[in-house]
Structures are given as structure tokens and as C-alpha cells.
Amino acid sequence: MCELVAKYDAKTVKDVPADLFIKAFAAHLKAQGQMELPKWAEYIKTGTQRELAPYDDDYLYIRAAAIARRIYIRPNIGVGAFRKVFGMKSNSGVCRTHFTLGAGKINRFLLQQLEKMGFIAQSDAMKGGRIITSLGRQTLDTVAVQAAKAAKPAVEEEAQPAEEEAQE
């Protein structure tokens, strides 16, 4: 995937691999400092199927970045859809596993925080759906271009030793 970043110049979120963009945008959200973290963030599980709360202290920033990217790519998506996206199989011991939805409170809270920052807005076309705003599109595209530029030198350095070995 990173070879694609080295080949082409990224201009939008769609041009950058998801993992690179989500890490970069999560760091951007954390550095910006506009997102308020709730008191319950360190104790809450991300779904009924989980046994423990997340170990990563920045999981809310990462989830917010994933939500923003998903709304950028597929607009008019709401809390229920994100519950499905972040759901997983539940471990029922000896019984069969079934799909269980993720926690809605976390997704709702992060959608509200992204709305407060001005990155997304409620959609008129669909009740409860969210769309990306012009400020959100501009910010996400800027972070995507920066993430692609940061990843490009690392990919080019890896490619140079392989080319030298091929010439010998």
C-alpha cells in the first residue's frame, strides 16, 4: 500500500491509505486540543462483547479520526451505522458466536465533538445522518497531504537499497 503513496501525489483523503491517515488525523486532533475527553473515557468498554476497556489512552482520538474518514468517504451515516462498523463477534463460551453491535455512547459523543469543532454537520437528507462540512473537508485533505508527504521519504529510502542490489 505504501508504494501507492510513493508513486502518486495525494490530494484528498481517498488517495492516502486508511491507517496512515487515521494516525495522522488522530495526532492532529490531539495537538489541536479542542476535543474534550469525558471522565468515563478510561473506564468504559467499546461494546458489550468486550471484556476490558481499551489499553490505548488515545483511543478516542483514533476512533474520532476513523469516524471523520468514514463520513468523508460515505456521507449520511449515523450512530446506528457506526455501531455496526465498530461491532464484533461476542464470545459466548461454548455457545455459537453472534455479531454484537458496538457501544453507541462513544460514537454519539465523538460525532457531537466533531460537530462542535465544525468538521461535520447533521444532514437534511437523512434523519440522524452526518455529512462533512467545507471546513472538515479542507482540514481532512490538508492532513491527508501531510501524511502522504511524511510517508513518502520512508518508502523511497526502502526502495533505494533494493534498486542497488538489483543493479549488482
pLDDT digits (tens, 9 = 90+) for 119-144: 999 988 777 789 999 999 999 999 99
Mean pLDDT for the stretch of residues 22-49: 85
131 SS3 class: strand
Q: Is the pLDDT of residue 148 over 80?
A: yes
pLDDT computed for residue 105 by the predictor: 86
* pLDDT value for 44: 80
Cβ contact 17:10 at 8 Å: no
Look at residue 67 in the predicted model and tell me its pLDDT.
Answer: 94
Give every CB contact of residue 76 below 8 A, 6+ residues apart in sequence: 123, 125, 126, 129, 130, 131
Written as one string, the DSSP assignment of 84-112 is HHT-EEE--TTSPPEEE-B-HHHHHHHHH
- Residue 87 near residue 126 (C-beta atoms within 8 A): no
Which residue would you say has higher pLDDT here, 94 or 3? 94
Domain ranges within the chain, ordered by starting residue: 1-151
Q: Is the pLDDT of residue 2 over 60?
A: no
Which whole-number Å values give the CA distances from 109 to 11, 117, 165, in the listed order? 29, 12, 52
Fold of the 1-151 domain: Arc Repressor Mutant, subunit A (1.10.10)
Give yes or no for a contact between 160 and 149, defined as CB atoms under 8 angstroms apart: no
> Do 141 and 12 meet the contact criterion of CB atoms below 8 Å apart?
yes
The mean predicted confidence, pLDDT, of the chain is 83
pLDDT(150) > 90: no
Using one digit for the tens of pLDDT, what is the confidence trace for 64-97? 999 999 999 998 988 888 888 888 888 878 888 8
pLDDT at 152: 74
State the pLDDT at residue 98: 86
pLDDT at 27 over 80: yes
C-alpha radius of gyration, the chain, whole number: 19
Neighbour tally for 162: CB within 10 Å: 8
